[in-house]
Amino acid sequence: MQIKKNTVVSLSYILKQDNADGGVIEIAKETDPLVFIYGAGMMIPKFEENLGELTPGDGFEFTLLSGEAYGEYESDAIIDLDKQIFSMDGVIDEEMLTIGNLIPMRDNNGNMLQGKVMGVTDDSVKMDFNHPMAGKNLHFTGKILDVREATADELSHGHVHGDGGVHH
């Protein structure tokens, strides 16, 4: 079966930074593949575009430029926040504010985002809200392991059930 909208795709891959010779960022092995519903908005659009119409057994290799992946690194996404924002019941967990820590937060509209602690002073915390992969070109090589039609339940829930998916 060919990959098309509303199919469940199972694949293995090696993700490297920049190109085929770049450092390894992530590996999805055949024994623990990436499984997702194609066309459901779960993956980077350009990633899916490069997989369209492939079938089980097909190999793939492509590079996504940073603008096609997680975007360019934005200096505007680095901001100083009042240290009191990190207070819980009047107490600030100084250990949480260790440089390099990732802290889940919400913006003014209630959207979840993750910030990386870049610096701490007596009054403020410098946070970087860029995606960790922002500004990086991503090189994928891999193999399509399986393609099947998504079930009605999977489509209504927006995620894969069973092997490689949610069990409920």
CATH class of the domain defined by 75-128: mainly beta
Which pLDDT value is given to residue 9?
Answer: 97
Give the number of residues written for the chain: 168
Q: How is the chain split into domains, by residue range? A: 7-70+134-157, 75-128
Supply the mean pLDDT for the chain.
93
Predicted confidence at residue 40, as pLDDT, reads 92
* Ranges 41-45, 104-108, 115-119: which has the least confidence: 104-108
What average pLDDT score do residues 141-166 get?
Answer: 88
Q: What is the mean pLDDT of residues 119-128?
A: 96
The number of beta carbons lying within 10 Å of the beta carbon of residue 79 is: 13
Which residues sit opposite 88 in a β-bridge?
91
**Fold adopted by 7-70+134-157:** Chitinase A; domain 3 (3.10.50)
User: Three-class SS of residue 156?
Assistant: helix
> In the prediction, which pLDDT does 61 show?
98
- Compute the half-sphere exposure of residue 124: CA atoms within 13 Å on the CB side of its CA: 7
Confidence tier at 5 by pLDDT (50, 70, 90): very high
Q: What are 23-57's pLDDT values in tens digits?
A: 999 999 999 999 999 999 999 999 999 999 999 99
Helix, strand, coil fractions of the chain, as percent rounded to 5: 15, 40, 45
pLDDT of residue 165: 66
**DSSP readout, 82-144?**
EGGGGEETTEE-TTTT-TT-EEEEE-TT--EEEEEEEEE-SSEEEEE-S-TTTT--EEEEEEE
Which pLDDT band, with edges at 50, 70 and 90, does 138 fall under? very high
Give 166's pLDDT tier (boundaries 50, 70, 90).
low
CB distance 122 to 83 below 8 Å? yes
pLDDT of residue 37: 96
Q: Above 60 in pLDDT, residue 167?
A: no
